[in-house]
Amino acid sequence: MLYELSQSYKRIAIVGMAKNAGKTTTLNYFLEEAMDEEMVVGVTSTGRDGERTDLVTGTDKPSIWLEEDTLVSVPVQLYDLADAGLEILRKTEYGTSLGPILLCRVANSGFVQVAGPVINSQHESLCREMIGAGAEVVLIDGAIDRKSIAAPETSDAIILSTGAVISRQMNTVIEETAHTVGLYRLPRLEEGPVREGLEKFRDDDKILLAEGGEIRHLDLRTGLGAGKILAATIGKDVSHVFLPGAFTPGSIDGIDPRTMRELTFVLKDPTKIFFPPSLWRKMCKWGLNVKVLENINVAAVTVNPTSPQGYRFDQQQLVEGVQRALPDIPVIDVMA
């Protein structure tokens, strides 16, 4: 599968729906595929991964084994901890709490602790450098802030890791996973004057209103709890409301459903949405219409039927349940 994905995407982020959803196991699964396909890959992270013990919970974690010729980003302070032989290609200017990032090539296979820059522009430059050095695809371990790493500026597509850690109820796991994927695939705002106007001012970090062909600023920097203010402000000529930050139930609380049906709420990307699945479905039935400036390509979903709390699901039932909910996306049990 990795080879097929690499024909469409050059930067693929692995995103966990929660801690212990199987994200590192998913990374190792695709690294094994790369070895079997004799592909040269780059590996980086939005934080730190590959340590044998979770630094927060103290629980055991899967280590990351890298084959020869793999390109990898390693901070100075983690370089000597690698079991693998690492050839330093360049000491970069990208700083971390563990020192500057080293761009390395694996000379002798072994375990490596991986870390990378957290600033998006530096992260993007590092991925480009890996591709320029021969990587056919860069796998990005989303080690910080879980689902927000799915943001489209981080990668070209994501692999979403889900599993039993989400809930003791399999149906809840399936529902939450399908809800997340549904949000990530929300439609993009169509090209035209409204999109051009919102993109021109979106970095002002204020709520924007598209009204009669004009873009108007509100003196609000967040949609959190802004529903009543918006309800009092929105006139009949307002067609679009752009929210620069989080979109929550409080963002629309107080807006008459008849008014809401005439509006399109616009977000930078789907990671800004924080609605439980049942409420989201209810609001959409009432006429809530949400579009995004950039949506997220979900290339595959991986499932982990085992929870660190000691319970597990039947792996076949879990795979089949997620696949029924997401029939057009490959679903893989990486633990099988």
**Which H, E and C letters describe the chain, residue by residue?**
CHHHHHCCCCEEEEEECCCCCCHHHHHHHHHHHHHHHCCCEEEEECCEECCCECCCCCCECCCCEECCCCEEEEEHHHHCCCCCEEEEEEECCCCCCCCCEEEEEEEECEECCEECCCCHHHHHHHHHHHHHCCCCEEEEECCCCHHHHHCCCCCCEEEEEEEHHHCCCHHHHHHHHHHHHHHHCCCECCCCHHHHHHHHHHHHCCCEEEECCEEEECCCCCCCCCHHHHHHHCCCCEEEEEECCCECHHHHCCCCHHHHCCCEEEECCHHHECCCHHHHHHHHHCCCCEEECCCCCEEEEEEECECCCCCECCHHHHHHHHHHHCCCCCEEECCC
Do 178 and 69 reside in the same domain of the chain?
yes
pLDDT, tens digit (0-9, with 9 covering 90-100), for 159-196: 999 999 999 999 999 999 999 999 999 999 999 999 99
The CATH number of residue 61's host domain is 3.40.50
Mean pLDDT for the chain? 90
Of all residues in the chain, the percent with pLDDT exceeding 90 is 68
pLDDT, tens digit (0-9, with 9 covering 90-100), for 202-255: 888 899 999 988 999 988 877 778 888 888 888 888 999 999 989 999 999 989
Do 216 and 118 reside in the same domain of the chain?
no
pLDDT, tens digit (0-9, with 9 covering 90-100), for 60-106: 567 899 999 999 999 999 999 999 999 999 999 998 889 999 999 99
Do 33 and 166 reside in the same domain of the chain?
yes
pLDDT of 55 higher than 70? no
Do 68 and 170 reside in the same domain of the chain?
yes
Do 122 and 6 reside in the same domain of the chain?
yes
pLDDT of 261 higher than 70? yes
The CATH number of residue 220's host domain is 3.40.140.80
